[in-house]
Structure 1
Amino acid sequence: MAPSSPSSSSHNWVYDIFPSFSGKDVRVTFLSHFLKELDRRLISVFEDNEIERSQPIGPKLQWAISDSRIAVVVFSKNYASSSWCLDELVEIVKCKEEFGQIVMPIFYGLDPSHVRQQSEEFGKIFENTIKGKTDDEIQLWRKALTDVANIAGYHSLNWDNEAKVIEEITNDILGKLNLTPSKDIF
């Protein structure tokens, strides 16, 4: 018998969306508008307000990632400056492989190839972050960055209207959740 692929239908999801992002780059700009649109469309999102980020990724966050149907990864210039974000990304890739979690990358203010290859400014920031880390940790982070950056996503350098792209991403999410996009766009 051939090995079966991960099945998302047998997994009990708690959240529709787990957002992974660098707060200093997008929390009060793109992300705030995106989350507002998801809320308006009644899409449930894990919010990290209560989690202290000074500690390693903990069981509560691992649970939230594994219990989210879709992981939306917002890559930005400083995403790789955070070992926390990189650990989240490793967990997201694990959930994609084990549970069939859908991963949607958004490249905000940078080229996807810079994430894929850890090059340019993104690569310099990543090199700073990996100083003093174990080879195993570095390899997991590199693989996760490359794997997720190889997934077709949204690239902000190609946008001429952020609001329309947020609407498009939200409609894409609704489709992946097998829900009908709302026609009452204001």
Structure 2
Amino acid sequence: MAASSVSSGGRYDVFINFRREDTRKIFIGHLYKALVQKSIYTFIDGDDLELPTTIQESRLSIVVFSKNYASSTRCLKQLVHILDRVDTKKHIVVPIFYQIDPSDLRKLAGSFAKAFAQHDHDPNANIDEVQSWRSALTKAANFSGWASRDYRDEAKFIEGVVQDIFNQLLQFSKVYVSFRGGDTRKGFAAHLSKALHQNVLSTFRDVSADIKGDEFSSLFKVIQQSKISIVIFSESYAHSRWCLDELVAILECADTNNQIVFPVFYGVDPSHVRRATGPFGEAFARHEEVFRYNMEGVTLWRSALTRATGPFGEALAGHEEVFRDNMERVTLWRSAVTRAANYAGFVRNNFKDDAELIEAIVQHTWRACRGFERILN
């Protein structure tokens, strides 16, 4: 598998509201790059003629409050649209207090007070509109957010923000795409995820190379919450223990949550997958060899430690239990692969090119989703 791609069910996952003169060439550039590296579809430029629609079709808005933010009527008008979206739909707002004191914003003090003094004295300003800006700022400032002054390292700050955004977007996944990153991450899996996204299908494309710690448990929650899982069997799929554990979880959801599962045989013979032969047979043989070698290692450890009682005996017993469980995992993996490969699916060689294959998968997925909770915005 590989890093992660969360799609919102609209054109964008994230809309960033910010004052260009303050942050565009510094903070925003780095933030945008970090979001893109997480495969989070992000809109950052406010010149879109269909701006209200862009905000409406985004799942989450990041509002970057900087020193001169309130002097920008463009930013303030965008903020009102964002909060209207919060009131009418399930839209998430994450404020970032960039090099400012959050209390200045909440109390409309400091540079924010000066900005509104100018708005109040502007003969062309609409009094009601200015008041709506005040209310929007106060409301947005009270959402849970991030303050850059709490971090000495801006890179760490951005890392924390992006991880928070990623975790919040996980809840919207409906279609889960399981694949071996080294085989398809930059090609077929990426194009498939983009096509699903463009067809208003909320999609999570896992890419576990960048996943650490608690994200593993988060991903299994995503699988449980999804309505459909697409499993891309490629030549090296069974070499990944993560892919195989993931597949076991997917099939458990098929049993407990009536999740729809369909395989895509990408560059592999379906019979090799079903019978665990060819590259799949080689992968399982390799897993068994590694786990068997580990069990033999415990035997050697026992011999070296002779009696091995007390804490030593407990430790060796723990190692044996882990390695025995691993041998049982191989049996589960074999069963899961055989079962998943017997679902009706798609074979790459039956299509003239990847584009035709992806179109067929998207149409099939969309039709399958119609029987579930609507995933159109």
TM-score interval, smaller chain: 0.7 to 0.9
Say what the alpha-carbon RMSD is for the aligned residues. 2.2
Of the candidates 232, 245, 270, which is equivalent to residue 74 of structure 1?
Answer: 232
Deviation at 1:26, TM superposition (A): 0.6
Q: What is the DSSP-based 3-state SS (H/G/I as helix, E as strand, rest coil) of the residue aligned with 1:46?
A: strand
- Specify the SS of the correspondent of 1:58: helix
**CA distance in 1 between partners of 2:210 and 2:222 (Å):** 14
Aligned twin of 1:106: 264
Name the counterpart of 2:357. Answer: 165
Alpha-carbon separation, structure 2, partners of 1:47 and 1:168: 18
In the alignment, the residues of structure 2 paired with residue 167 and residue 106 of structure 1 have an alpha-carbon distance, to the nearest angstrom, of 13
| 1:136 corresponds to which of 328, 334, 340 | 328
Query: Identity, % of aligned pairs?
Result: 37
Residues 4-56 of structure 1, C-alpha deviation per residue, up to 9 Å, x if partnerless?
A: xxxxxxxxx84221111000101111111111111110111114368744669
Shift of 1:69: 0.5
More helix by share: 2
Q: How many residues align?
A: 167
C-alpha displacement at 1:89, in angstroms? Answer: 0.2
Which letter does structure 2 place at the counterpart of 1:93?
L
SS at structure 1 position matched to 2:263? strand
The answer to whether structure 1 residue 97 and structure 2 residue 255 are counterparts is yes
Change (3 A) 1:128 1:81: same
CA distance in 2, matches of 1:51, 1:45: 18
Structure 1 residues 100 and 35: CA distance shift in structure 2, 3 A: same
Q: What is the rounded CA distance, in whole Å, between the counterparts of 1:118 and 1:176 in structure 2?
A: 28
Structure 2 unpaired stretches of 5+: 1-170, 292-322, 372-377
Instruction: Select the structure with the greater relative contact order (CA < 8 A; seq sep ≥ 6).
Output: 1
TM-score by length of 1: 0.82
Mapping for residues 6-25 of structure 1, pairs under 5 Å: 14-25=172-183
Between 115-124 and 48-57, the greater mean CA deviation after superposition = 48-57
- Kindly state the Cα deviation for residue 63 of structure 1 after the two structures are TM-superposed: 0.1
Structure 1: 5+ residue stretches without partners:
1-12, 180-186
Change (3 A) 1:92 1:19: same
Task: State how far apart, in whole Å, the 1-side matches of 2:230 and 2:182 are.
Answer: 17
Given candidates 40, 43, 46, the residue that maps to 2:204 is: 46
Alignment-derived partner of residue 63 in structure 1: 221
Contact 2:230 2:263 in 1 (8 A): yes
Structure number with larger C-alpha Rg: 2
Residue matched to 2:294: none
Q: Secondary structure at the match of 1:72?
A: strand
The verdict on how the C-alpha distance between 1:55 and 1:159 changes in structure 2, with shifts beyond 3 A counting, is farther
